[in-house]
A and B are shown apart, each in its own frame.
Chain A
Amino acid sequence: MLLLGRGRRRPRLDERPRIVPAGAPDPGAEWLVLALLLGAALCAAGFIVVYAFHELAHQTQYLGLALGLSFAFVAAACVVVGRRLVVSEELEEDYPLPGHPQTQEELEQLVQESGSRFTRKRLLLSGAGAAGTAIGAALVVPALALGPFLDTGGLYETPWRRGVRLVDESGRPLLLDEIAAHTFYTAFPQGAGHEQFGAPLVVVRFAPSQLHLPAPRRGWAPGGVVAYSKICTHAGCAIALFRKPTFPAIEPGPALICPCHYSTFDPTSGGRVLFGPAGRPLPQLPLYVDPGGGLRAAGNFSGPVGPSWSGVRSRPPRNPA
């Protein structure tokens, strides 16, 4: 066979039967492709020129335009090549066989026979299982260093305790007399970080007759000033909207609203949910006025702050140790 093959010379490339069917040349298309490729080169060069400017108005736009058009020209060239210069032959091919039943059986046999010297398969398999599970667990356990795993107590912590002064974003104390009615204030605990769910408050003032807080919270709103956690109990966004009943026909009453999923809370009745997905009222902070007229916390919140979790209602909020 080999010898026979060597005796006969392979025919030259142009003498052999074609694999790809022949087609007529299309010089027009070739010129078009050339023009498109030159266009691409020109645009790419344009990108470099625009890039070289130190400060140019609308530079981002020009850069995007130049590079985008350059790619668009190449894409167009490819399309012309595909449609007019390359033969669109249609091929047929057999779909692969659904499987190789004989090989499958042989593989099964191979594995079976390889284990024929084992007499205690079950036992060994359980041993391997034990080793695998233990090693897997050992490899996963270091991940516990990522954060507290068993101790979820941190979720209950807030910096508010009796006597903590309410201050604004720049640290200036909030005075009762300076709180205007129907206006939305953000307050923080003096001397504690702002970037935690337990810290920020919304403070709103109503006429005391407007308030109908639950009986145990009667003394929580000196001068009609109520304070709530600013973090929505649904998904942890900041309550950034305050609805005054400016048009009572549609808007039934004042409300604190979270802009993420529009949980709506009633600030006059202790943070009750009026509408939207939140499943828990907004935690209220009891207030009192110190001799200097400043607002201070009279204790911790009425419930845990921030989004809810399994068991959230089981414990009251607390201060960090």
Chain B
Amino acid sequence: MIRRAVRFLDERSGAAPLLQKSLRYVFPDHWSFLLGEVALYSFIVLVGTGIYLTLFFEPSTATTYYTGTYLPLRGHEMSIAYRSAVDLSFKVRAGLLMRQTHHWAADVFVASIVLHMLRIFFTGAFRKPRDLTYYLGLTMLILALLEGYLGYSLVDDLLSGMGLAIGYSVLLSIPVLGPRLALLVWGGPFPGRPEFWSRLYVAHVFLLPVLIGSLLAGHLLLVAARHHTQFGERRRMTEKKVVGLPTFPAQAPRSLGLMFAVAAVLLLLGGLVQINPIWLWGPYHVYQGTNGAQPDWYLGWLIGALRLVPSFDLTIGHYTLIPNAFWGGALFPLLVFLILYASPSLERRLTGEYGFHHLLDRPRDAPWRTALGAALFTWVFIIFFAGSADRVFVSFGVSYQAQIWAYRALVWVLPVVALLVTRRWCLALQELERLDRIRRAAEAEARGRLQLE
């Protein structure tokens, strides 16, 4: 049976040697190497549930009146897009399960990409020959953020519309080109032409997923071509030799197990834990807003940045050059991603270390990289956290304005603190290890002397 299948395939493709090689491809074993796989499997769940959703969703802004089973919305004027999303949740059997699983999967997808990226960053896995792999990964992160944003925009509930208005404003705020780009994308001043919904839809269900899928394929091919990195915790693991489990048989059940586990968790979340109850927000109207609105977690850093920037537009005389939304909505993420993209070459330039690296650093092994990374991510995280100041105000009564002023200071202070503390911490850990080695050497020597006597 097996021989016949293999022969059939080999005689037609000549792939037997390749197949053998990939079955015996070596995977070094470490839990942190699974974060990227979680992202991959979330993506598969996203595609699966997403296809189901497209079978019922109608991407149209034409107005209609709701006549379905959900009483609070009966008789309300809304777009066909929003009505079909509500119907998909209430009328289509398993529709709500699929929609919520899709939404949870999106949140987990971005979260696992971010954690994977942090692992790569703090272990120096982005060094040559894996810098290209890292650039593809970062690009996928940007696309994933955009894809998630477009996804929850499509529904056309009140939160969608507010998010789109903010997106439009940020695009509009780009110096000189902004108004032209915004008018092009929306087809006119906000909320734009009806065709805008077709553009949103094709981008969300076709362009971006295909782009992410292609980059994903390239990313995995590059990983396989240069092999996995390893921590070098044992002497056999060197810059020349990779040690670990073969794809088949050892790694395959583990990886499949992770895939089913990810799908299980996402389906359980989708079935049992409510997310984005669109029927509560109601349809979007330009003249409506809701208090305490929060986007999906992965846009929190942008909302925090938009809220923190003090009131000023850059003007020359009477000419507005850069309006306010640009600083937090465009410049901030641009800067963060620029630093991330530049990290491999900056590190090469600064350390003069141009060689190949297959062995990973532990964070303590590269104190400067770890400290600078800690500063960068602290900066982003504080700004992310500032986005929750309104919820803190509602829940604990701490003055919103006082919080914002505190954050405006902390945003610059805490990264410096993180830098200094992390560097000292790394050096202390190194010192501890050095002392431990000396102690053990002395003990061994003492034992040896004892035996001689």
User: Which A positions have Cβ atoms within 8 angstroms of B?
Assistant: 20, 51, 59-65, 67-72, 74-79, 81-82, 86-96, 98, 143-144, 146-150, 152, 154-155, 157, 186, 188, 194-197, 199-200, 230-231, 234-241, 250, 258-263, 273, 275-280, 306-314
Contact = CB atoms under 8 A, between A and B. Distances in A.
Contact of A310 (B176, B263, B266, B270): B176
B289 A277 contact: no
B264 A147 contact: no
A82 B246 CA distance: 12
A261 B303 contact: yes
Given A75-B261, A196-B286, A236-B169, A149 B180 contact: yes
B106 interface: no
Interface residues of B, number: 106
A60 B325 contact: no
Contacts of B24: 91, 93
Interface in B262-288: 263-272, 285-288
A309 B289 contact: no
| Residue picked from A146, A150, A236, A263, most chain B C-beta under 10 Å | A236
B449 interface: no
A199 B227 contact: no
A86 B249 CA distance: 6
Given A90-B245, A98-B356, A278-B311, A260 B289 contact: yes
B410 interface: no
A65 B26 contact: no
B356 A314 contact: no
A90 B244 contact: yes
Nearest to B101: A64
A68 B319 contact: no
Q: List 10 tightest A-B contacts by C-beta distance, closest first.
A: A64-B271, A78-B257, A279-B313, A308-B323, A307-B169, A200-B287, A82-B253, A68-B268, A240-B289, A75-B260
A84 to B, nearest CB: 10
A270 to B, nearest CB: 15
A231 B252 CA distance: 55
Contacts of B52: none
A89 B288 CA distance: 62
Nearest to B358: A95
B191 A313 contact: no
A260 B323 contact: no
B184 A149 contact: yes
A75 B242 CA distance: 28
Contact of B263 (A61, A71, A235): A71
Given A86-B249, A96-B227, A152-B180, A237 B173 contact: no
Contacts of B183: 147-149, 152, 154-155
B391 interface: no
A197 B170 CA distance: 15
Contact of A78 (B256, B272, B288): B256
Given A65-B271, A186-B287, A235-B329, A92 B185 contact: no
Contacts of B94: 51, 60, 63
B195 to A, nearest CB: 8
| Residue picked from B25, B166, B270, most chain A C-beta under 10 Å | B166
Contacts of A59: 93
Given A65-B272, A147-B185, A92 B311 contact: no
| Residue picked from B165, B191, B328, most chain A C-beta under 10 Å | B165
Contact of B264 (A72, A250, A275, A306): A72
A230 B319 contact: no
Interface string B91-118: 0011011001100000000000000000
B451 interface: no
Contact of B268 (A64, A91, A237, A312): A64
Nearest to B168: A236
Given A61-B272, A240-B291, A261-B307, A310 B254 contact: no
Contacts of A61: 271-272
Interface in B211-268: 225-227, 236, 239-246, 249-250, 252-254, 256-261, 263-268
A61 B268 CA distance: 8
Given A68-B264, A307-B325, 15 more contacts: A20-B249, A74-B260, A75-B260, A75-B261, A81-B253, A93-B25, A93-B227, A95-B226, A154-B188, A194-B286, A234-B169, A239-B289, A240-B290, A309-B178, A311-B179
